[in-house]
Amino acid sequence: MTPRALTVAGLMSGTSADGIDVVLVRIAPGTPAGGKTRAQKKTPKLTLLAHEHFAYPAALRRAVLAAMNAAVISTAELARLNWRLGLAYAEALKATVRKRTIKLDLVGCHGQTLYHQARAEQYAGRRFACTWQVGEAQAIAAALHVPVVSNFRPADIFAGGQGAPLVPLLDYFLFVDEKRGRVLQNIGGIANLTAIQPGALQNSVLAFDTGPGNMTIDWLTQKLFGKPFDRNGALAARGSVLEPVLQEALRHPFFRMRPPKTAGREQFGGKYAAELLEKCFARSKSPHDALATATALTAESIARSYARWAMPRMKERAVDTIVSGGGARNRTLMRMLAARLEPLGCELRASDDFGLPAEAKEAAAFALLAWRTWHRLPGNVPSATGARQEAILGQVTFV
């Protein structure tokens, strides 16, 4: 199928489970990017038309958090949650489209991850990896009367990958530069990076999860202060980092793993945050110190990932670090990150500087992946996910 211009919606709800990001993007075929081989596809042109965020209603957020990596939950609860999320996605998208005179052609919906097991484990007599994102796609298709692409991750897993990260294709198309090395740092519930050398080919991109992003910070903020998140990092700014606790936390096995690697609530969810809090309180009863320590854990784990894996691949010492995700709004986290990365030669910039709001990038990525699926083009980057080969991602739900 010859690629053509489409107006595509991207829907994303991440591991923070704070709500739904909706973007509307005009995607058109473009010209080959510099340095691409003949086998690689043309770089599409993306024009952001709209971005909206919709917080989950309190009851829905509680249901999502209760279902994530749950040890015990009924099939009825899971079925109802799948449909309820589908309705929430549809309502958010309808509200976004109503504000604008835009004809929608296609939707890409990531869904809400309830469980992600990137590496093979034993179950019922077989070893396999698996992943599960919920949110009934038919609810969106029926409400908007357009096809919906969803369930993006399994195709990469069956190609031998970890099903994540899937944003690197967007990172490459938007940010590859002939002269500047760039690291795209997303800080959502989990933090992840995409490292792109100057003039890099698509198949040389390095991408992986660095560890906790906002997830641990948010859990502590809710537990200690009764607030959904640490706005601007103001609470952490009042505390001091407990260095012995931080150094012990950095000995978690995940941080020693080689890329490709992915993480989620399975590694850094409520159980992990509760243990971190207990260790903080053993040294200081200040809740602000605990929050400062959790914030430093995110910054330090990112910086160590740069020093060990990303920076050695760069040809030049000067590198643009382009930050996206909700963590980009946490000023304390950004100060900590800058203090650790600038000595490595990294200049911190926000994705807003490039015309893409920090919270919009992941939703835009799934709009792009939906566009590629619709045109039967691969969407994974094997060097990022560990897959044996490129794969066409997702399943299409028709009206």
pLDDT for position 15: 86
The Cα–Cα gap between 86 and 166 comes to: 21
Region of 232 on the Ramachandran plot (φ > 0 left; ψ -120 to 50 alpha; else beta): left
Is residue 330 pLDDT above 80, yes or no? yes
Do residues 163 and 208 both lie within one domain?
no
The Cα–Cα gap between 276 and 249 comes to: 8
Do residues 208 and 333 both lie within one domain?
yes
CA pseudo-torsion sign 135, 397, 389, 36: negative
CA angle 351, 354, 357 (to 5 degrees): 45
State the CATH number of the domain containing residue 277: 3.30.420.40
Is residue 39 pLDDT above 80, yes or no? no
Lowest mean pLDDT among 67-76, 187-196, 228-237, 281-290: 67-76
Do residues 208 and 303 both lie within one domain?
yes
Rounded-to-5 percentages of helix, strand, coil across the chain: 40, 25, 35
Side chain identity, residue 329: R
pLDDT for position 391: 98
12 in a structural domain: yes
Q: Check: CB of residue 159 under 8 Å from CB of residue 114.
A: no
Is residue 175 pLDDT above 70, yes or no? yes
Do residues 110 and 240 both lie within one domain?
no
Do residues 116 and 247 both lie within one domain?
no
162 in a structural domain: yes
144 in a structural domain: yes
Task: Give the DSSP letter of residue 283.
Answer: T
The Cα–Cα gap between 249 and 245 comes to: 6
Do residues 276 and 157 both lie within one domain?
no
The Cα–Cα gap between 77 and 92 comes to: 22
pTM reported for the whole predicted model: 0.92
The Cα–Cα gap between 22 and 109 comes to: 9
Question: How many structural domains is the chain composed of?
Answer: 2
pLDDT for position 37: 41
Domain interval for residue 347: 171-354
Q: What is the DSSP string of 34-94?
A: TT--TTSPPPPEEEEEEEEEEEPPHHHHHHHHHHTT-SS--HHHHHHHHHHHHHHHHHHHH
Side chain identity, residue 241: V
Region of 65 on the Ramachandran plot (φ > 0 left; ψ -120 to 50 alpha; else beta): alpha
Listed in sequence order, the residues at least 6 apart from 384 whose beta carbon sits closer than 8 Å to its beta carbon are 165, 168, 194, 205, 206, 207, 208, 260
Do residues 164 and 180 both lie within one domain?
no
Between these two residues, 352 and 291, which has the higher pLDDT value?
291
Is residue 360 pLDDT above 50, yes or no? yes
Q: Check: CB of residue 171 under 8 Å from CB of residue 197.
A: no
Q: 67-71: which pairs have CB atoms within 8 A and are 24 or more residues apart?
A: 67/114, 68/17, 68/113, 68/114, 68/115, 68/265, 68/269, 69/114, 69/115, 69/264, 69/265, 69/266, 69/269, 70/114
Do residues 213 and 346 both lie within one domain?
yes
Do residues 344 and 212 both lie within one domain?
yes
pLDDT for position 35: 47
The Cα–Cα gap between 202 and 186 comes to: 19
Is residue 40 pLDDT above 60, yes or no? no
Side chain identity, residue 41: K
1 in a structural domain: no
Do residues 330 and 294 both lie within one domain?
yes
If we measure between CA atoms, which residue out of 210, 213, 214, 217 comes closest to residue 164?
210
Do residues 283 and 157 both lie within one domain?
no
pLDDT for position 41: 46
Report the chain's mean pLDDT, rounded to a whole number: 94
Helices (H), 187-286: 215-225, 243-249, 253-256, 265-268, 270-281
Task: Give the DSSP letter of residue 277.
Answer: H
pLDDT digits (tens, 9 = 90+) for 105-146: 999 999 999 999 999 999 999 999 999 999 999 999 999 999
Taking CA atoms, 151 is separated from 12, 92, 180, 190, in Å, by 12, 19, 34, 20
Do residues 298 and 158 both lie within one domain?
no
